[in-house]
Amino acid sequence: MSARHDAGQGSSGLTRRAVLQGVAAVGGLVLCLHESGRIAHAGVAPPKYGVDAEPGGAVENPLIFVAIHPDDSVTITVARPEMGQGIRTSLALVVADELDAEWERVRVVQAPGDQARYGNQDTDGSRSMRHFFQPMRRVGAAARMMLESAAAAHWGVPVSEVQAERQRVSRRGGEPSLTYGELAEAAIRESVPAPDRVKLKHPGQFRYIGKLSTRAIDGADIVSGRARYGIDTRLDGMLYAVVARPAVLGGKLVHYDARAALAVPGVVRVVEIASHPQPPRSYPLGGVAVLAHNTWAAIKGREALTIQWHDGPNAKFDSQQFQAVLEQAVRHPATVVRDDGDALTALRGAGTRLEAEYYLPFLAHASMEPPAATARIVDGHCEVWAPVQDPQGVRDLITGLLGMKESDVTVNVTLLGGAFGRKSLGDFAGEAAVLSKAMGGTPVKVMWTREDDIRHDYYQAVAMERLEARLGADGLPVAWLHRSASPTEDATFVAGAEGEDDGEYGMGMINVPFQIPNIRLEIPKVPAYTRIGWFRSVYNIAHGFAIQSFIDELAHAAGRDPRDYLLALLGPSRRVDPRTLSDQWNYGESPMRYPLDTGRWRAVIERATREAGWGRTLPKGRGLGLAATYSFMSYAAAVVEAEVDSAGRITVPRVDIAFDCGPQVNPDRVRAQLEGACIMGLTLAKYGSITFKGGRVQQSNFDDYALLRLPEAPREIHVHVLESSFDVPLGGVGEPGLPPIAPALANAIFAATGRRIRRLPLGEKLA
């Protein structure tokens, strides 16, 4: 078996973003994907879901992913980038388990961007395990079958007479066994079994899948400083570049004076980077690059530049004024995306009527590793090393930017020092490639400072959410109106796109399965003035915050316990076809395979509240808050215990999270993701805010864009993952823990103080 890394053939180039752009955006292939259900009804083509609908799909050839060496070591190629979710360990352990390899002998190789060869590599949407668990099981099992065939041929016995276990194949009856290393060469010549012939283990036979104690592949390198991130690439003769970019999106360079910069010792050259017409896409923003012999000289050189910019049409953007625009937007009728019954009439009846508006500002990802990338061009071949979530997308970008053939561009994927969606778009890698070209192919590492990162992110969109409800005699709502005003990520790719698309309002807004007869959901069209991107769990953050806060408000208005009220709203356990909730998207998954299961949603609520001691008496100034969300095919409930002292300072002593993602492949990493989501959720609730004035981001570093620090972390975070059989399809893990945290905190603050939080962030203390 082999693991050769050559440049592959073309890929479709269609990315998740294109899929997400939806019906409002671009035509052709995208529409086909979106409307595949309808086309199928017309008898044209069966709908594609899951990984089959992703560019590149899944590749199941063991010759591409598994190499066994004569010394019995095993190399497993992982095609999905590692950003802290543990995927290099988790995908490799799936292959290793079905292969029956010894984990201590497994080494992991990271695939470069090449979807034709490796299948889909665009690592976002909490999809890696959901989409590749079964394919990677079959990869490992197929390799094992080939080894068994080779052994059977060696002994001249039927394959049923031999059995692989722990890297040896033995023959019934006790001949000496052969090691995988001894069999590898012969095994390559065996034919690869067809996917439907591959024999998988029974879950009871798993050695690594679902077990708690699998050694992390990169752990030892990380704790010894050997792990290599994008920022760590070093090539002979490499120059370091720091770039001055337009402060306002769409701004243009008018004039620059590089004399003082060039006088800084160590500075080699100053190079202009071309800007691109709007929309911004993943293109470099343009500007002026200072190239130097080390990072510090490049930083100093940039400080010495004198630059005149033309700010362009976004120069008036003011996020504070924009709040008023969003408020107006949610107070007026807008595009109806779901309309059950007659909510407008039902809202006007007698009885308690509530309305509330929730505001969540722009957010920056602020991964601890800022964007950084290295490129060189040798003999017409551009090679890039970069921490990117979508290596094929970056390859396509650079192919276009340099006017090269795809086969002349290699994108190597380093470890990602955090990403959270920022590194889905590779503008920074594009800068490195363009600068290397400008320098005649010399290796160039582009370094972003923290200020660059905060000011030139693809931001989580600001959102204003308005909810209205009228309660019936039993205290439950008879009518529900929700308007969600938030710029769309589509605007990053399609000029003038306005308002959330179906994939965006599909994130926790449209698919509410509540027992309410009259539901009306509307999407106002609001513009984007900056680069909008994806941030862990994306639009689920705002929808989850508004809906779960509002339900808490309704419960209190009805005089009911918030948990009982939420359970009553969800109603009895049942499986709901998302299409009956007007949700055609369903995260790209089959509505039959992945229905919305209110029983699982109820179960996480019941578990979290039970574990947290819901209903227990707390001292004055303390309260428990509950929120529960369904996103990325997984169910999460959080109970936050908050304490507010007499000065208004908020502490969170304890959080309980119950989670159902179906079966767990790497249970320890599932828990780690939930702990991390809890910290990130508290961070955005307390501090998360990017603001604009004059089109410019006003924050710049961790002094004005604060992140939660260790003393503020809850002393107790209890994660309760519900057990599930491997017959259940897998749910996502990286993102779905985040949405319930902020509303659970806000609800806890209400329980503690009677103060209702409708605007984030809270700040250090309640004002």
> CB of 419: closest distance to other proteins in angstroms?
8
Q: Which of 414, 375, 444 is nearest to 221 (CA)?
A: 414
The label of the residue with tokens 């752009």 reads 21
Whole-number Å distance between alpha carbons of 518 and 342: 5
Write each residue from 416 to 435 as x if it is in contact with ligand FES (CB under 6 A), else as -, in one continuous string. Answer: --x-----------------
Q: Give the helix/strand (H/E) hosting 469.
A: strand 463-471
Asked if residues 642 and 652 have their Cβ atoms less than 8 Å apart, the reply is yes
Chain-centroid distance of CA 693 in Å reads: 28
Whole-number Å distance between alpha carbons of 688 and 760: 7
Q: Which stretch, 39-47, 224-232, 393-401, 721-729, contacts other proteins (CB under 8 A)?
A: 224-232
> CB of 128: closest distance to other proteins in angstroms?
15
Residue 312: other Cβ atoms inside 10 A: 15
**Judged by CB under 8 A, does residue 447 bind other proteins?**
yes
Whole-number Å distance between alpha carbons of 541 and 548: 11
Q: What is the DSSP letter of 313?
A: G
> CB of 758: closest distance to other proteins in angstroms?
25
**Judged by CB under 6 A, does residue 84 bind ligand FES?**
yes
Whole-number Å distance between alpha carbons of 330 and 159: 67
- Applying CB under 8 A, which of residues 714, 731, 739, 761 lies at the interface with other proteins? 714
**Judged by CB under 8 A, does residue 612 bind other proteins?**
no
Write each residue from 716 to 755 as x if it is in contact with other proteins (CB under 8 A), else as -, in one continuous string. Answer: -x--------------------------------------
Contact partners, residue 219, CB within 8 Å, separation at least 6: none
Residue-by-residue DSSP string for 56-102 = T-B---HHHHEEE-TTS-EEEEE-SPPSSS-HHHHHHHHHHHHHT--
Question: Considering CB distances under 5 to 8 angstroms, the limit depending on partner class, which of other proteins, ligand FES, none binds residue 307?
Answer: none
Question: Considering CB distances under 5 to 8 angstroms, the limit depending on partner class, which of ligand FES, other proteins, none binds residue 128?
Answer: none
- Applying CB under 8 A, which of residues 19, 231, 637, 733 lies at the interface with other proteins? 231
**Judged by CB under 8 A, does residue 417 bind other proteins?**
yes
Question: Considering CB distances under 5 to 8 angstroms, the limit depending on partner class, which of ligand FES, other proteins, none binds residue 224?
Answer: other proteins
The residue number whose beta carbon is nearest to ligand FES equals 368
Question: Considering CB distances under 5 to 8 angstroms, the limit depending on partner class, which of other proteins, ligand FES, none binds residue 678?
Answer: other proteins
Question: Considering CB distances under 5 to 8 angstroms, the limit depending on partner class, which of ligand FES, other proteins, none binds residue 85?
Answer: other proteins
For 325, half-sphere exposure in the C-beta direction (CA atoms, 13 angstrom radius) is 17
Question: Considering CB distances under 5 to 8 angstroms, the limit depending on partner class, which of ligand FES, other proteins, none binds residue 701?
Answer: other proteins
Bin 372: left if φ > 0, else alpha if -120 < ψ < 50, else beta.
Answer: beta
Residue 277: other Cβ atoms inside 10 A: 9
Say what the alpha-carbon torsion angle 503, 543, 724, 570 is, to the nearest 10 degrees.
-110
For 198, half-sphere exposure in the C-beta direction (CA atoms, 13 angstrom radius) is 26
How many angstroms separate the first and last alpha carbons of the chain? 64
DSSP strands (E only) in 676-751 = 692-693, 696-697, 716-721
Q: Which stretch, 66-74, 353-361, 560-568, 674-682, contacts other proteins (CB under 8 A)?
A: 674-682
Closer by beta carbon to other proteins, 82 or else 190 = 82
Asked if residues 635 and 603 have their Cβ atoms less than 8 Å apart, the reply is yes
- Applying CB under 8 A, which of residues 680, 733, 745, 762 lies at the interface with other proteins? 680
**Judged by CB under 8 A, does residue 223 bind other proteins?**
yes
Closer by beta carbon to other proteins, 253 or else 717 = 717
Write each residue from 681 to 720 as x if it is in contact with ligand FES (CB under 6 A), else as -, in one continuous string. Answer: ----------------------------------------
**Judged by CB under 8 A, does residue 646 bind other proteins?**
no
Closer by beta carbon to ligand FES, 286 or else 418 = 418
Does 279 sit behind a cis peptide bond, omega within 30 degrees of 0 on the bond before it? Answer: yes
**Judged by CB under 8 A, does residue 226 bind other proteins?**
yes
**Judged by CB under 6 A, does residue 368 bind ligand FES?**
yes
The label of the residue with tokens 């065996």 reads 190
Length of the chain: 767
Phi, psi of 353 (to 5 degrees): -125, 130
**Judged by CB under 8 A, does residue 224 bind other proteins?**
yes
**Judged by CB under 8 A, does residue 495 bind other proteins?**
no
Q: Beta partners for 257?
A: 306
Asked if residues 283 and 301 have their Cβ atoms less than 8 Å apart, the reply is no
- Applying CB under 8 A, which of residues 415, 509, 512, 730 lies at the interface with other proteins? 415
Q: Give the helix/strand (H/E) hosting 489.
A: none
Asked if residues 268 and 292 have their Cβ atoms less than 8 Å apart, the reply is yes
Closer by beta carbon to other proteins, 364 or else 463 = 364
> CB of 419: closest distance to ligand FES in angstroms?
10
**Judged by CB under 6 A, does residue 487 bind ligand FES?**
no
Positions touching other proteins (CB under 8 A) are: 82-86, 215-216, 218-220, 222-229, 231-232, 234, 240, 265-266, 293-296, 299, 366-370, 415-420, 447, 449-450, 668, 672-673, 675-680, 683, 701-703, 707-711, 713-715, 717
Q: Which residues bind ligand FES (CB under 6 A)?
A: 84, 368, 418
